[in-house]
């Protein structure tokens, strides 16, 4: 068993694609689609790796990540952030918020798998 991944994303096609590739690799994948209570869901699920979209209903991924980094129990959680906009400004915001790794959509299945394996310590 590779570990647990929590995917916070609101696009069904991306959810299905990521769930498929990670499940096939042995990961347990939970999903959540709302930014408002995302930090609470992370705290209750306690995933090994978090995949977090920037654009979510109710709250941005940057705000959620800042909340997680400020809390002792989630400060060291590996976070892969997904964004549809790959401008350097987005990357800087993510890095300031404490992201572990940053990926621009569209991405390949191999890229996601490699990133999650690395973040989860299964390279």
Distance CA 91, CA 110 (A): 21
Position 123 scores a pLDDT of 64
All domains of the chain, ordered by start, with CATH? 3-119 (3.40.50.2300)
pLDDT of 49-65, one tens digit each? 999 999 999 999 999 99
Distance CA 10, CA 94 (A): 19
E strand or H helix at 53, and its extent? strand 49-53
Position 100 scores a pLDDT of 97
Q: What is the mean pLDDT of residues 94-110?
A: 94
pTM for this predicted structure:
0.95
pLDDT at residue 73 is higher than 70: yes
């Amino acid at each position: 068993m590779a570990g647990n991944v929590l995917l916070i994303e609101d696009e069904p096609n991306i959810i299905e694609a990521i769930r498929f590739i990670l499940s096939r690799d042995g990961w347990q994948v939970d999903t959540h689609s709302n930014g408002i209570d995302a930090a609470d869901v992370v705290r209750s699920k306690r995933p090994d790796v978090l995949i977090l979209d920037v654009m979510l209903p109710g709250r941005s991924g940057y705000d959620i990540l800042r909340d997680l980094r400020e809390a002792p129990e989630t400060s060291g959680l590996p976070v892969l952030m997904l964004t549809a906009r790959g401008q350097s400004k987005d990357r800087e915001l993510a890095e300031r918020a404490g992201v572990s790794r940053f990926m621009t959509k569209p991405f390949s299945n191999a890229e996601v798998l490699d990133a999650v394996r690395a973040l989860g310590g299964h390279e």
